[in-house]
Homo-oligomer: A and B are copies of this chain.
């Protein structure tokens, strides 16, 4: 029998060919005209998993089907669930693509196609690592489940519905997600922290219609004035949030983490140049990277009211609104923040204004302890696959499913993205490095072995 790594080398060309086949299916989840392609992609993934001998089911949901697969039971070994998605973003604007988005094309060691890095290429690394195990060792060292959904780009409603009704089928000790990027070319990473979020919409209503600001100004409370005042009271000039109790439950950064983040050598000036600003102001006592990844924030995401056209119009607007959100860090409770924010805003709302506050999202932050055996196992597997130990990073965004699995099963998540920062996940000319594809398969194959050594409590 060949070794797993030998098997992977021998079959590398076929893996690439099958990835191309998968990428040719334009499984755009947001576009109803691609509904047939969505089904084809779900069946394609299901068929791959079924061929490996996994108990596989393509499950209809309220919108797009889920692909579920489960390996034979391995007593005493942890249960690992691989989460990914077969749906893709639209390819538009199509004319910015150098090669057709659904005709995978090799250039400079990369494969260009919509879905290459997000997430078809990364999903298949875990499928082929399982194939290699079964073809060479005739067994898997852990209990493996696959959950590959078709609505990741459009809100995952079907998945949440399924989770509510059939949580037990997804029970696991550890969730593995490869749907992101490494820290830099040649530098793989494990993302061990995510921020949470609470997102609000605030609508302030004053007079029943727009009023002439000359005839009425001074005698009527202006909802746009009130909005600016209320929003600016939520935060100080350096971004320190003023909602009472907001920081009470924040887990502070450990000195180990701060050292590790500092060691990443984040170049702030380069970052400013990239986003096109000359500088920034932020919370005192924290570096730019700490503020992005590990500190809570307040951002107005949208604001509107009154006359926004050309020139001037002298009105007191009848209404003004803002959408705003707090990014949360562990262990802040979205519900507690929600209540405190609402209470503060009610206190700030002036006479003559009625306010309506709607909460759109609430997801807690997530932190996998750096000394977790899962993180340690993933570190060794990645070092094997990529020839370099990963760095440990956090991400400022939120992935609701990670919080959900943590809450439902107490499962830690391994966020091990094989892509690159410049893969263009939602833009034109999306790509995935073929070298990273194969390194990812090798790391994944080693991951199952490393995870099998973890003793279940």
Contacts and interface: CB of A to CB of B under 8 A. Distances in A.
A433 to B, nearest CB: 21
A232 interface: yes
A398 interface: yes
Contact of A276 (B207, B231, B271): B207
Interface stretch (A113-121, A134-142, A213-221): A213-221
A313 B303 contact: no
B197 A314 contact: yes
Contacts of A350: 237, 281
A305 interface: yes
Interface stretch (A167-175, A316-324, A376-384): A316-324
A215 B397 contact: yes
A361 interface: yes
A343 interface: no
B304 A317 contact: no
Most chain B C-beta atoms within 10 Å of own C-beta, residue among A213, A283, A314, A396: A213
Contacts of A100: none
A300 B225 contact: yes
A221 B283 CA distance: 11
A207 B277 contact: yes
Given A214-B327, A303-B320, A291 B219 contact: yes
Nearest to A313: B301
A321 B298 CA distance: 19
Interface in A318-376: 320-323, 325, 327, 350-354, 360-361
A391 interface: no
Contacts of A93: none
A315 interface: yes
Interface in A198-241: 199, 201, 206-209, 211-222, 224-225, 227-229, 231-233, 235, 237, 239
Contacts of A297: 213, 217-218
Interface residues of A, number: 84
Contacts of A282: 218-219, 221
B312 A352 contact: no
Contacts of A311: 360
B218 A291 contact: yes
A279 interface: yes
Contacts of A233: 232
Contacts of A309: 302
Given A195-B214, A213-B325, A305 B306 contact: no
B228 A292 contact: no
Contacts of A361: 312
A219 B289 contact: yes
A449 interface: no
Interface string A251-295: 000000000000000000001100111111111000011011001
B312 A304 contact: no
A126 to B, nearest CB: 24
A282 to B, nearest CB: 6
Most buried by B among A283, A300, A320: A300
Given A199-B314, A201-B312, 9 more contacts: A197-B314, A208-B276, A209-B276, A214-B395, A232-B233, A302-B305, A304-B304, A311-B360, A312-B325
16 contacts: A207-B275, A211-B275, A213-B297, A214-B395, A214-B398, A216-B275, A217-B292, A224-B299, A225-B231, A228-B322, A277-B352, A300-B320, A301-B316, A307-B323, A312-B323, A314-B325
Interface of A: 195, 197, 199, 201, 206-209, 211-222, 224-225, 227-229, 231-233, 235, 237, 239, 271-272, 275-283, 288-289, 291-292, 295, 297-309, 311-317, 320-323, 325, 327, 350-354, 360-361, 395-398
